[in-house]
Chain A
Amino acid sequence: MELPILSIMLAVPLVAAIACLFLPGSTARMVALAATLIDLALGIMLWLNFDIGGAQWQFTERAALFAGFQYALGIDGIALLLIMLSVFLMPICILASWDSITRRVGEYMAAFLLMEVLMIGVFAAQDLFLFYIFFEAGLIPMYLIIGVWGGDNRIYASYKFFLYTLLGSVLMLIAMLWMANAAGTTDIPTLMQYDFPAGAQIWLWLAFFASFAVKMPMWPVHTWLPDAHVQAPTAGSVILAGVLLKLGGYGFIRFSLPMFPDASAELAWLVFALSMIAVIYTSLVALVQADMKKLIAYSSVAHMAIVTVGLFAFNAQGLEGAMMVMLGHGLVSGALFLCVGVIYDRLHTREIARYGGLSINMPRYALLFLLFTMASIGLPGTSNFVGEFLALAGIYEVSTFVTLVCTTGIILGAAYMLFLYRRVAFGEQRNADAARMPDLNLREWAMLGPLAAAVLWMGIYPESFLAPMRGDIAMLEARLAPVAPQYDSALTAGTPREHAANYVAAEEHGPEGAH
């Protein structure tokens, strides 16, 4: 490839972000939308030009700009899909903030565009420290987005978000420094094939786990998420749920599993235990929430637990399933937050009890909301079904017990989502002001329509999404094969009977036959 598409994808929103800082609100909105749409177009180009089954790393770029680490970019199928998710959600986020953000619009748009730069950078970075820089830098714009444009309790939420994620990440930096020193390189593809001594792997794995578990987030370090989600503006929640939570899963796929396979196998029980607790506990917590955003935030934690379980199944179904859950959850939870945002913009409350009977006055909204609710439950035909089914099929090969618990979580998921939907959309119109709300406008259609299409596409023809990453998953599976756990529900060959079941001993019958 001659054209450095990845660098251009980083440069476009960066330039637009700087421009937005100096532009008046209305122009800044247009610039931001244009920049994100250009990036979406570039992303589609990237996907179309991605050679499925070709080299593992494509679109590679390399420049020795800095001391100590390199400016090295490149993507495989996994990164490609996550970049696509980011560039797809960004224009929707900008549209979601079109009318609801009226204060300091230029700075807001700049922060979002900066987030886009950093998200693409995280997925494209091929140098350990470049990855870390992109990974950590996201704290700054997100801190501002929550703190400046958030809800009433935004300051507490922004501090908690910042310090939690920072504390999680700094130990990872020490681990990275150790790895770079031991392996003599900072190149991620090389490190993915490097065998660290087993004793060191445990420590390195734990240091990375501290960071990714917080980002993911896993129980019990998930508590920043409900606060951050609830206080962030709608578009901030979309980005947080849609893309930032995927950083944890991406980190496991890119670092923990291939770089420390022995430690991953040894500590898989920890991941399973935390994930099982998360699935059941956060689902139960979600069931009793009175705040819509909080409910969806807790459901995110439960969904992410399915991701971690799938990843640590160490087989192709589990890994593919985890990726599909991440992509599907990115779309669906983003869409659900937008659905909340749509009615929040009209009534300025997130309290479930203030709504009711919306299917009467907002039938189109109710239809789309139903689609996304069903997708979140994992109804066949929607994106999440594919991922959850694969992830659970993967883990079933390892542990039937974990599968049992996680499947229970999915049933609870159906319970809280349907309960939410019933209270918001069905029943009587209890509140006069909620009953007067107008249905979706054109801008809201433009946000939710593409998401609905993508959710259905992913559910009906998942091959488009599975194909680019198949080769990479296979390589990862091969890397993990030596440490893959035993299949606890496998059919085992018993000792064969000597005779068929209906065999009758000949000699006993002998005398009777003589009659």
Chain B
Amino acid sequence: MGYANSLYLTGAEIGLSLTGLVLLLVTAWTGRGAARAITIAAVAALFGALIFTGVLLDETMTGLAGRAFGDLFTVDAFSSLAKILIYVATIGCLILAPHYFERHGEYRGEYPVLILFNAVGMGMMVSATNLMTLYIGLEMSSLASYVLASFARSDTRSSEAGLKYFVLGGLASGIILYGISLVYGFSGTTSYDGIRLAFAAQFTTGAVFGMVFVLAGLAFKISAVPFHMWTPDVYEGAPTPVTTFFASAPKVAAVAMLVRIAFEPFGGETGGWQQIVVFAALASIVVGALGAIGQQSLKRLLAYSSINNVGFILIGLAAATLEGASAVLTYLAIYVFMTLGSFAALLILRDPEGDKLTTFADIAGLATRSPALAWSLLFLMFSLAGIPPLLGFYAKFVIFQAAVEADMIALAAIGIAASVIGAFYYIKFVKVMFFDDAVDTRRFHAPAGHWAVLAICVIVNSPLGYLLTPWFGRMADAAGLSLFAFA
């Protein structure tokens, strides 16, 4: 394959990198005034990448999957679909960002640039078919994330979150690297296909260690129990738009990367990792649900909620089937809209003085203060709880369907029973907004962009979202199939 083809397949990443570099120069020379223009340019670039990836997805759906630069980088239906989700989530996060920082005069052009580089890294993570590409993508995304977490420099909590994230993220990267070196040592290659062949020939204890270390490091990135401790602190400390970003796009990327690693290089050793994933799944569901119950801070609560959701996603992975992979993507897609919507609502929640409202007490009686916001949050919370007819139910439905079809009925039964614990705090949201009396009757003023993001997320999560399921299901099935092409 020639360079032309390689460049074509990596077009989205190259385009985003070049845009990022140019915008970095622009921001260096223009200063703070142009931050908004740079954001718009970054959103435009992401839109371009989105459309380009959509075209690639269309091509891969008809069977034209391709590898770029030797075996380093693949473009198949799975990576394209994951990238589309990543770009959509990133665009949503960028739309939500400026207003928040501008109130404190902290918005700078570096923010969209960092997000762009992050998007490039995430694209590489999901497309990597070599442990080296994977690591480069992962670090590119992580480094940008550390800076973003401490973006509100004047806020000590933000700096603390950034530092915590950096130290613990560095540790996780170390664990992954250690795992990679073991895997390399026992297979003699870093290419996914090569590892699979080598492991099929001989799967030694050392290789098991390597695999477990890689999975443990990745579990940290997706904040699965028992590697979840950083999540509530970082989510709470980071500025809300950054938290929105952490909870959406990088999570999609890390989960997609984990799924690819599990099915491609380690796809022959399903029995080796299935137990780990089953444990992490159930532990995440239970810890995520129990941890959230006592929380007063809405951001912390949503952090636990994301741990809880990762648990459900891992059930799809534990099924270790094509349906499971497809279910994971479907869940991720719906999760992105649920998370973006919830955080958009949190960002709208500020009183006219600009104080952030972030505890349950602040949203008491929201239904009388701002019915539109309260009803939107009601939809999103019931969707997160997985109550039909909202789309969140469909996400859980496909996951549990995959588990039952893989004959993991006990896992499915325990998982779904534990989801009732989670329902408790989601309905607490509704209780506070609808049943309690308002202490404050002032209304909220937020830019139209926030309301637009919220409206789109609510519409997708409403029963109307079911009309999208046949269309998305076809793509997710094609994506799942592309992971099993090797086997």
B467 and A171 contacting across the interface, CB-CB below 8 Å: no
Chain B, residues 453-475, CB within 8 Å of chain A (1/0): the string is: 00000000000001101101100
Distance, CA A136 to CA B413, complexed state (A): 17
Q: Does A66 contact B (CB under 8 A)?
A: yes
Q: Which residues of A contact B375 (CB under 8 A)?
A: 21
A166 and B397 contact, Cβ closer than 8 Å, known pairs A136-B388, A174-B413, A181-B404: no
Chain B, residues 331-358, CB within 8 Å of chain A (1/0): the string is: 0000000000000000000000000000
A173 and B416 contacting across the interface, CB-CB below 8 Å: yes
Q: Distance (Å) between the CB of B386 and the closest chain A CB?
A: 9
Q: Which residues of A contact B416 (CB under 8 A)?
A: 170-171, 173-174
Q: Does B434 contact A (CB under 8 A)?
A: yes
Q: Distance (Å) between the CB of A377 and the closest chain B CB?
A: 37
Q: Does B8 contact A (CB under 8 A)?
A: no
Size of the B side of the interface (Cβ < 8 Å), in residues, is 35
Size of the A side of the interface (Cβ < 8 Å), in residues, is 36
Q: Which residues of A contact B469 (CB under 8 A)?
A: 66-68
Q: Considering the complex, give the chain A residue whose CB is closest to the CB of B418.
A: A170
Distance, CA A309 to CA B475, complexed state (A): 49
Chain B, residues 386-414, CB within 8 Å of chain A (1/0): the string is: 01110001100110110011000100110
Q: Which residues of A contact B419 (CB under 8 A)?
A: 170
Q: Distance (Å) between the CB of B120 and the closest chain A CB?
A: 32
Chain B, residues 359-388, CB within 8 Å of chain A (1/0): the string is: 000000001100000010000001000011
A154 and B435 contact, Cβ closer than 8 Å, known pairs A66-B470, A68-B469, A140-B382: yes
A167 and B404 contact, Cβ closer than 8 Å, known pairs A143-B430, A147-B434, A177-B412: no
Q: Which residues of B contact A68 (CB under 8 A)?
A: 394, 397-398, 401, 469, 473
A170 and B435 contacting across the interface, CB-CB below 8 Å: no
Point out the residue from A65, A148, A163 that lies within 8 Å of B435, measured CB to CB.
A148
Q: Distance (Å) between the CB of B474 and the closest chain A CB?
A: 8
A133 and B404 contacting across the interface, CB-CB below 8 Å: no
Distance, CA A421 to CA B364, complexed state (A): 42
Stretch of B122-130, B251-259, B420-428 at the chain-chain interface: B420-428
Which residues of A101-159 are within 8 A (CB) of B?
104, 107, 129, 132-134, 136-137, 139-140, 143-144, 147-148, 154-155, 158-159
Q: Does B37 contact A (CB under 8 A)?
A: no
A147 and B417 contact, Cβ closer than 8 Å, known pairs A66-B470, A163-B424, A178-B404: no
B420 and A147 contacting across the interface, CB-CB below 8 Å: no
B404 and A140 contacting across the interface, CB-CB below 8 Å: no
Distance, CA A158 to CA B424, complexed state (A): 11
A174 and B404 contacting across the interface, CB-CB below 8 Å: yes
Distance, CA A91 to CA B206, complexed state (A): 71
B393 and A133 contacting across the interface, CB-CB below 8 Å: yes
B424 and A66 contacting across the interface, CB-CB below 8 Å: no
Q: Which residues of B contact A177 (CB under 8 A)?
A: 397, 400-401, 404-405, 412
Point out the residue from A21, A67, A133, A159 that lies within 8 Å of B431, measured CB to CB.
A159
Q: Does A426 contact B (CB under 8 A)?
A: no
Q: Which residues of A contact B397 (CB under 8 A)?
A: 68, 129, 173, 177
Chain A, residues 162-196, CB within 8 Å of chain B (1/0): the string is: 11001100110110011011000000000000000
Chain B, residues 136-171, CB within 8 Å of chain A (1/0): the string is: 000000000000000000000000000000000000
A174 and B431 contact, Cβ closer than 8 Å, known pairs A67-B473, A166-B420: no
A137 and B473 contact, Cβ closer than 8 Å, known pairs A65-B466, A170-B419: no
Point out the residue from A21, A66, A143, A147 that lies within 8 Å of B467, measured CB to CB.
A66
- The 3 A-B pairs at the shortest CB distance, nearest first, are namely A67-B473, A133-B388, A67-B469
**10 CB < 8 A contacts A-B:** A67-B472, A139-B387, A148-B435, A155-B435, A167-B417, A170-B416, A170-B419, A174-B416, A177-B404, A181-B404
Contacts from B to A (Cβ < 8 Å): 367-368, 375, 382, 387-389, 393-394, 397-398, 400-401, 404-405, 409, 412-413, 416-417, 419-420, 423-424, 427, 430-431, 434-435, 466-467, 469-470, 472-473
